[in-house]
Amino acid sequence: SCISQSEHGSHKPSIQGGEEFFRGVLESMQSVYLNRNPTAKAILDLVHSVENNSPYYDHLAFRTFGVNGYGIDSMASFFLDYGYTQRDELRFPGKKLRALWFSPPADSHAGTGSGINGPLPRIFISELLVDQMSPKTQEIIKKYTGSSGKGNKYAALASSLGHLTWEKPLYSEFQQLASESEYAAWTLVNGHALNHVTISTHRLKTYLRDIKELNQFIEKNGFRLNSEGGVLKVSPDGLLQQSSTVADSVSFQFSDGLTESVPCSYIEFAERLVLPQYKNLPDTEVKEFHRRDGFEVASADKIFESTSKEQLNRVGS
Ligand code: OOG
Ligand code: NI
């Protein structure tokens, strides 16, 4: 028969029959990301080679235009439909952004594999506060979201296909957005593509589980880390530590025929330390929920810079 052994008998049933489909969508999003971003692919391969396993993901992140139904909700609805829960809001007034994060459905979603087939990741979705942009920038964003028809209903589909839901812009329009918000320019040409995946470092098995060791390992292998505010971003309580690479660039053909290099995606690393009330638990009993959860606005503010010109054009380290 074409039903494999693992589909019979004793394996843990999933809460929802849709889990395989859901994971398939995440896999497609990941494969679009890996094909476009050689640095992310190389780093995942390197970590795999040391660990003998694909790392688990802490979170996946997306960017959106907060206008006419194209904001956070356009991507969030897919995750909410598959059991995710909306958590905290983060605000970035200087960048004119806001973000929400979503936690995965509890239990029985531990997954049986590695990487994207391990425990389901958190989801971080941000949006540009479009009504706070200049009239010129707003007009361009509304032109493209408008040209997309009902594309906002298919954000997750677009992300898994690696397709924009709107037409390709003119180079001058990209530049206008970039002069005001690098986030806006990124979103215009990358759309709903995965902005980054984040390796969960504390769930690694080797010395790389210490994020400082992982950072050194990445740099020793010739990759650049985002240095904005220091390579390691640490939350005020000290329990959430993050770092990220500088985004890869891809060549993008604009609708006026110009081909220019534009920033694509990056990869992040996060170490969540054990909460003070669980500090006496033996290592073998520590679960993800015993660790620092959530995100940190001051760190996130600097991680957004992983796609900035300033970081991409940095020379040396
Ligand atoms: C998101 C930056 C913030 C985090 O984990 O705090 C972030 C982005 O660049 O879109 O990823
Ligand atoms: Ni992140």
pLDDT band at residue 107 under the 50/70/90 scheme: low
pLDDT band at residue 2 under the 50/70/90 scheme: very low
Ligand 1 close to Cβ of residue 303 (< 6 A): yes
Strand partners, 271: 241
Reported ipTM: 0.99
Ligand 1 close to Cβ of residue 61 (< 6 A): yes
pLDDT band at residue 145 under the 50/70/90 scheme: very high
90, 87, 95, 79: which is closest to 16 by C-alpha? 79
Average pLDDT over residues 9-34: 80
Ligand 1 close to Cβ of residue 22 (< 6 A): no
Residue nearest to atom 8 of ligand 1 (CA): 304
User: Alpha-carbon distance 26 to 64, whole Å?
Assistant: 18
Task: Give me the pLDDT at residue 4, please.
Answer: 42
Question: How far is CA 301 from its chain centroid?
Answer: 14
Task: Give me the pLDDT at residue 16, please.
Answer: 61
Task: Give me the pLDDT at residue 314, please.
Answer: 87
Q: How close is the Cα of 61 to the center of ligand 1, in Å?
A: 7
Ligand 1 close to Cβ of residue 125 (< 6 A): no
Average pLDDT over residues 307-313: 95
Residue nearest to atom 6 of ligand 1 (CA): 300
Per-residue pLDDT for 166 more than 80? Answer: yes
Q: How many helices (H) and strands (E) does the chain have?
A: 10, 10
Give the mean pLDDT of the chain. 94
pLDDT band at residue 110 under the 50/70/90 scheme: confident
pLDDT band at residue 17 under the 50/70/90 scheme: confident
Per-residue pLDDT for 7 more than 70? Answer: no
* Best residue for ligand 1 mutational test, from 89, 95, 246, 268 (most atoms within 8 Å of Cβ): 268
Ligand 1 close to Cβ of residue 37 (< 6 A): no
Ligand nearest to the CA of 263: 1
User: Alpha-carbon distance 15 to 82, whole Å?
Assistant: 11
Q: How close is the Cα of 304 to the center of ligand 2, in Å?
A: 8
Residue nearest to atom 7 of ligand 1 (CA): 300
Task: Give me the pLDDT at residue 111, please.
Answer: 74
Domains detected in the chain: 16-312 (3.10.180.50)
Average pLDDT over residues 260-264: 98
Task: Give me the pLDDT at residue 316, please.
Answer: 58
Task: Give me the pLDDT at residue 109, please.
Answer: 65
Q: Is the pTM of this model over 0.80?
A: yes
Average pLDDT over residues 197-204: 98
Per-residue pLDDT for 289 more than 70? Answer: yes
Per-residue pLDDT for 11 more than 70? Answer: no
Residues with CB under 5 A from ligand 2 (ion): 61, 268
* Best residue for ligand 1 mutational test, from 63, 90, 98, 124 (most atoms within 8 Å of Cβ): 124
